[in-house]
């Protein structure tokens, strides 16, 4: 599994309406992409936007990065929205998840 961390800051005059439309489309498109697992996005209190994306493999990440529609939106964002961004891709060496609020199975005697 590969984790992609995308961080960005918008220009003060960035096209937020144009971004909202394009961002929604990219979320729809990536969910159809082979090897895509999940995406979580949030904004920090100081205005940095962060997306955590997981894919099955580095090949899947590279194919997503090369998607023509995605490339077009990347170029648009560099020209009309971002003042800064960074991308980090890392292989996940270990992962686990525990739902502490899940109903517990009834104990048997």
Q: Confirm if 73 and 29 have CB atoms less than 8 A apart.
A: no
Q: Confirm if 73 and 26 have CB atoms less than 8 A apart.
A: yes
- Residue count (the chain): 109
Reported pTM: 0.84
Residue-level pLDDT at 104: 79
Residue-level pLDDT at 102: 87
Task: Render each residue's pLDDT in the chain as its tens digit; 109 residues.
Answer: 999 999 999 999 999 999 999 999 999 999 999 999 999 999 999 989 999 999 999 999 999 999 999 999 999 999 999 999 999 999 999 999 899 998 876 656 5
Decide: helix, strand or coil at residue 1: coil
Q: What is the side-by-side strand order in the sheet with 49-55?
A: 36-43, 49-55, 2-10, 82-91
């Amino acid at each position: 599994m590969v984790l992609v961390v995308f961080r960005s800051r918008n220009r003060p005059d960035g096209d937020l309406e144009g971004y909202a439309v394009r961002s929604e489309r990219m979320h729809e498109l990536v969910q159809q992409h082979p090897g895509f697992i999940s995406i979580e996005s949030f904004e920090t209190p100081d205005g940095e936007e962060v997306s955590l994306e997981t894919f099955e493999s580095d090949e899947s990440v590279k194919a997503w990065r090369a998607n023509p529609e995605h490339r077009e939106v990347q170029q648009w964002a560099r020209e009309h929205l971002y003042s800064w961004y960074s991308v980090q891709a890392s292989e996940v060496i270990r992962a686990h998840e525990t739902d502490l609020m899940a109903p517990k199975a009834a104990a048997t005697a």
